């Protein structure tokens, strides 16, 4: 149960998030400029009307690819930025990771879950918190009403991350080779927003 299907828009890249549920994950919406730049670079469809990226943070050990792994690509906005993963076959945003498996977490974007909007909410529950709302776009009044992530939300995330680290999930990271610790594909750095 709770094996959640993952798929890019065109269907070439697919995978499973094994045993993923609300209890072992965190649903957040990030409005930061970098997440927006990444989404816009891929066409912008993954953004909500306030410039938010809806994503589920969970252990990378739960994620595995079933097909199309050769279409998985990785970019960074700067040479120090997060690794931002996408399906190059159809520019579907997949998610983000740290640039190293040492901090084992993935933030998988709504667009890569093969779920209806209703199923997504039923499985993962409401948004825990919105982050970087200062960079949100759209109606300021609506932005001011967003539920911001509080200290308790950050604490939950840090304790989850520590538990994954203790379990050795750094070595079972879908986006990094377990023996070399290198990413499964080379990340390219966006230069002034151009590839
Ligand atoms: Zn695709
Ligand atoms: Zn962000």
CA 71 – ligand 2 centroid, Å = 23
* Closest by Cα among 94, 96, 92, 95 to 82: 96
CA 68 – ligand 2 centroid, Å = 26
Secondary structure, 3-state, the chain:
CCCEEEECCCCCCEEEECCCCHHHCEEEEECCHHHHHHHHHCCCCCECCCCCEEEEEECHHHEEEEECHHHEEEEECCCCCCEEEEECCCCEEEEEECCCCCCCCEEEEHHHECCCHHHHHHHHCCCCEEECHHHCCCCHHHHHCCCECCHHHHHHHHHHHHHHHHCCHHHHCCCECCCCCCECCCCEECECCEC
CA 116 – ligand 2 centroid, Å = 23
Q: Answer yes or no: are the C-beta atoms of 83 and 91 closer than 8 Å.
A: no
Please report, rounded to a whole number, the percentage of residues in the chain having pLDDT higher than 90. Answer: 93
**The dihedral formed by the CA atoms of 121, 2, 166 and 61, expressed in degrees to the nearest 10:** -100
* Domain boundaries along the sequence of the chain: 4-187
User: What residues pair up with 122 in beta bridges, in sequence order?
Assistant: none
pLDDT per position as a tens digit, 169-182: 999 999 999 999 99
CA 166 – ligand 1 centroid, Å = 34
The model carries a pTM of 0.94
Architecture of domain 4-187: Beta Complex (2.170)
Q: Which ligand has its closest atom nearest to the C-alpha of 37?
A: 2
pLDDT band at 192 (very low <50, low <70, confident <90, very high): low
pLDDT per position as a tens digit, 8-30: 999 999 999 999 999 999 999 99
Q: What is the pLDDT of residue 1?
A: 61
**How far is the C-alpha of 124 from the C-alpha of 120, rounded, in Å?**
6
Mean pLDDT of all residues in 93-117: 97
CA 81 – ligand 1 centroid, Å = 24
CA 24 – ligand 2 centroid, Å = 21
pLDDT band at 105 (very low <50, low <70, confident <90, very high): very high
Q: What is the pLDDT of residue 195?
A: 46
């Amino acid at each position: 149960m709770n094996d959640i299907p993952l798929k890019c828009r065109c269907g070439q890249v697919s995978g499973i998030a094994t045993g993923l549920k609300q209890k072992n994950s965190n649903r957040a919406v990030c409005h930061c400029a970098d997440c927006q730049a990444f989404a816009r670079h891929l066409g912008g469809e993954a953004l909500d009307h306030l410039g938010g990226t809806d994503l589920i943070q969970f252990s990378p050990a739960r994620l595995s690819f079933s097909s199309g792994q050769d279409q998985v690509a990785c970019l960074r906005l700067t040479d120090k930025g997060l690794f931002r993963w996408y399906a190059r076959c159809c520019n579907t945003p997949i998610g983000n990771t740290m640039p190293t498996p040492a901090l084992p977490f993935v933030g998988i974007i709504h667009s890569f879950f093969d779920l209806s909007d209703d199923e997504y909410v039923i499985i993962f529950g409401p948004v825990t918190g919105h982050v970087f709302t200062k960079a949100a776009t759209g109606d300021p009044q609506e932005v001011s009403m967003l539920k911001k992530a509080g200290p308790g939300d950050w604490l939950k995330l840090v304790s989850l991350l520590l538990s994954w680290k203790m379990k050795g999930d750094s070595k079972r990271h879908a986006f990094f080779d377990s023996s070399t610790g290198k990413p499964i594909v080379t990340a390219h750095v966006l230069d002034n927003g151009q590839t």
